[in-house]
Amino acid sequence: MNFNSHSDTVVAVAAALVNALTAGEAHGRPYAVPEGPRRRALVTEALRLSRPLAREVTDDEAEEAAAVAAELRAVFQAVDRGDVDGAAARVNDLLERTDARPHLERHDGEPWHLHFHGRGESWADRWAAPCATGLAIVLGGELHDRLGVCTAPHCDRVYVDVSRNGTRRFCSTACQNRVKTAAFRARAGRA
């Protein structure tokens, strides 16, 4: 499944930011958002999904990114609940706030392709604009159900289902394996 190359990338960035910068549960354990160098490294790693040469982010930028991640999480959660209208409203709010606008770019030896930039003043808004636009493209098509929240117990990490059949339910193979192992043990205990 492919929305389009840039949309795929910025939607992956959105999911990575949500998973790195929102507290909750991950893979069966409580997840606290890291501070300092680890948080900066996670944000930089997420952004490099879109721009491999992205510079290391500052503490202030990582803090701004955390606020954007909370807004993006709400979009994934709304889709997961089947509330596409609510997800669309949240994305529209982000698009309006960041004043996202299309722009053709060519870089790194690639052909011309569409990027979305925000006119927002903050560093985070300049990243929120393409993430919101990528999510808008997904929500505006028939593949909106490809955004989700992990169904494994004690995990609330988000994912983008890029599988051919669109049946993904887990954020990672680790969560999928945890659920399968628990089911196997439950069946073995009944036998």
Beta bridge partners of 113: 105
The rounded distance, in Å, linking the Cα atoms of 143 and 149 is 15
Question: Which residue ranges make up each domain of the chain?
Answer: 5-190
Burial 137-176 (b: 16+ CB within 10 A, else e): bbbeeebeebbbbbebeebbbbbbbeeeeeebebbbeebb
Fold of 5-190: Jann2411-like fold (1.10.3300)
Residue 106's CB is within 10 A of a number of other CB atoms, namely 10
The reply to whether the predicted model has a pTM over 0.85 is yes
pLDDT band at 154 (very low <50, low <70, confident <90, very high): very high
For residue range 138-148, list pLDDT tens digits in order.
999 888 899 99
For residue range 103-142, list pLDDT tens digits in order.
888 877 878 878 787 776 688 888 899 999 999 999 998 8
